[in-house]
Copies of this chain bind each other. A is one copy, B any other.
Amino acid sequence: MSDPLVAVCEAMLFVAAEPLALGELAAAAEVDESAVEQALEGLERSLAERGAGVVLDRSGGRYGLRAAPGGPAEAASRLQARAPERGLSPAAMETLAVVAYLQPVGRPEIARIRGVSSDAVVAGLLERELIEEAGRGDGLGAPVLYRTTTVFDRIFGLEEGVSGLPGLDAEDEIDGDELRQRLHAVAAERG
A-to-B contact residues, CB < 8 Å: 1-2, 4, 6-12, 14-16, 20, 24-25, 27-30, 46, 50-54, 65, 67-68, 71-73, 75-76, 78-80, 82, 89-91, 94, 114-117, 121, 123, 126, 133-136, 141, 144, 190
Contacts and interface: CB of A to CB of B under 8 A. Distances in A.
Contacts of A7: 51-53, 68, 71-72
B136 A75 contact: no
30 contacts: A1-B51, A4-B51, A6-B53, A7-B51, A7-B53, A7-B68, A8-B71, A8-B72, A10-B54, A10-B72, A11-B54, A11-B67, A11-B75, A12-B72, A12-B76, A12-B79, A14-B53, A14-B54, A14-B65, A15-B80, A16-B79, A24-B79, A28-B76, A28-B78, A29-B75, A89-B133, A90-B133, A114-B144, A116-B133, A116-B144
A69 B99 CA distance: 43
